[in-house]
Amino acid sequence: MNEFEWRQQMRKLRGPVTPHHDLWDNIDAALEDRDEGATRPQTARHASPHPWLAAAALAGAFLLAGSIGLHLYRNAGATFGDARALADAPWRPSDPRLSGAAIELDAARIELQQAMQQSPDSPSLQRLLARTEQQQTQLRHLAQEAG
């Protein structure tokens, strides 16, 4: 079969197709059966064979989310303490909005420096550290412009 014949067959598929027999009889019969069956109580068709499985999955998801949150909370406290202790030149702008950002950027820079000690050849860590330092510089310029 060449491409021309294949395209001809594909064009024929676009045309309307008439069924071999009348479909309305089957549709009417199905609707009548459905209407008669509506008086019967409906049972759950998609009920789980093991209802405890969904509950166990949900409990596992909550347990996982809680343990991750607790881990992040504990590490955030340690990181904040490390950031304050290890800061080269602690800079605190007078604007409270900028000081919050300065604390976050300081903590991020220190975390990245610690990660760089473990993996000094990581290009992604080097890019993140450079970007964090660039953001700190921009923040200092904003504080100077704000007065």
0.75 surpassed by pTM: no
Residue 1 lies in a domain: no
Task: Select the more confidently predicted residue: 76 or 144.
Answer: 144
> What is the tally of structural domains in the chain?
1
Dihedral (CA of 129, 116, 110, 74) sign: positive
Q: Does residue 99 belong to any structural domain of this protein?
A: yes
Q: b/e string for 67-101 if b means 16 or more Cβ within 10 A?
A: eeeeeeeeeeeebeeebeeeeeeebebeeeebeeb
Boundaries of domain holding 134: 64-146
Is 18 a member of any domain? no
In a domain, 50, yes or no: no
User: Is residue 140, in this structure, part of any structural domain at all?
Assistant: yes
| Average pLDDT in the chain | 76
Write down the residue that tokens 């001809």 correspond to. Answer: 8
- The yes-or-no verdict on residue 5 having pLDDT over 70 is yes
- Cα–Cα distance, 35 to 147 (Å, whole number): 77
